């Protein structure tokens, strides 16, 4: 029964996910953490970190991790297949339409109209992740609850990614090493 629930949940997430893993992270979090309680917010944030480090798209990795957590290998298969299925069908249909009608202004206008919605979804996900990493939840945002180390690490790695053009893999590995030293070895 849980596999059916996983399939239904991730099929709907996959059906309404536009813009990739980062854009639909809030939709996924609201279902996995909020609606079903399959993970806590902290666990979901940890899974995002792991999913970003592993090969493959973020959304598929999150579906796979959730399926494994909830129902083992059958859950992984159900959640991952369900998440990918709508995109596969939609892309096949849209590819035929796009190549046939790609020069029509209405099609270009529709695609341009989706950009602000995708940006808002990415921003909503970013706010939740930052709130959890820096304050233990956006509802706990205050100077007293601020995790200064997390803020400094985030700023340093943002600079490395944007200004120094350090690749994301190197940045993630470096941040993991520094985080293990600061939080693990030093006991902060």
Whole-number pLDDT of residue 51? 86
Q: Spell out where the chain has E strands.
A: none
**Is pLDDT of 163 > 80?**
yes
**3-state class of 20 per DSSP?**
coil
**What is the tens place of the pLDDT at every residue in 5-47?**
999 999 999 888 776 667 778 888 999 999 999 999 999 989 9
What pLDDT does residue 107 have?
A: 80
Based on the fold, state whether residues 102 and 170 are members of the same structural domain: no
Question: Are 161 and 131 contained in the same domain?
Answer: no
133: Cβ–Cβ under 8 A, 6 or more apart, which residues? 45, 147, 150, 154
Kindly state whether residues 153 and 128 are assigned to the same domain.
Answer: no
pLDDT, position 165: 82
Residue 141 within any structural domain of the chain: no
User: Average pLDDT, stretch 133-138?
Assistant: 89
Query: At which of 91, 109, 135 does a domain end?
Result: 135
CB atoms within 10 A of CB 115: 10
Q: Which domain holds residue 38?
A: 2-135
Q: Quickly state the pLDDT bin for 188 (edges 50, 70, 90).
A: low
pLDDT over 90, % of the chain: 35
**73-93 per-position pLDDT tens digit:** 999 999 999 999 998 998 899
**Which of 8, 55, 33 lies closest to 129 in space, CA to CA?**
33
Tell me the mean pLDDT in the region 35-62: 89
* Whether residue 126 is found in the same domain as residue 162: no
Query: Is residue 80 located within the same domain as residue 59?
Result: yes
Residues 89 and 168 in one domain: no
Residues 56 and 116 in one domain: yes
Looking at the fold, whether 81 and 166 belong to one and the same domain comes out as no
Verify that 117 and 166 share a domain, yes or no: no
Decide if 43 is inside a domain. Answer: yes
Residue 128 has pLDDT above 80, yes or no: yes
Average pLDDT, the chain: 88
């Amino acid at each position: 029964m849980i596999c059916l629930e996983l399939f239904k949940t991730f099929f709907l997430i996959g059906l309404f996910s536009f813009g990739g893993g980062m854009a639909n992270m809030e939709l996924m979090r609201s279902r996995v953490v909020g609606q079903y309680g399959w993970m806590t917010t902290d666990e979901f944030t940890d899974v995002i970190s792991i999913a970003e480090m592993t090969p493959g798209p973020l959304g598929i990795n999150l579906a796979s991790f959730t399926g494994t957590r909830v129902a083992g290998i059958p859950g992984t298969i159900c959640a991952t297949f369900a998440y990918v299925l709508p995109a596969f069908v939609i892309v096949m249909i849209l590819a035929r339409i796009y190549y046939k009608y790609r020069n029509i202004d209405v099609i270009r206008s529709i695609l341009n109209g989706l950009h602000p919605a995708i940006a808002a979804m990415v921003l909503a996900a970013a706010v939740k992740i930052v709130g959890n990493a820096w304050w233990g939840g956006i509802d706990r945002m205050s100077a007293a609850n601020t995790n200064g180390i997390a803020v400094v690490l985030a700023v340093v790695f943002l600079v490395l990614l944007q200004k120094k053009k350090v690749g994301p893999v190197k940045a993630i590995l470096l941040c993991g090493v520094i985080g293990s030293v600061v939080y693990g070895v030093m006991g902060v």
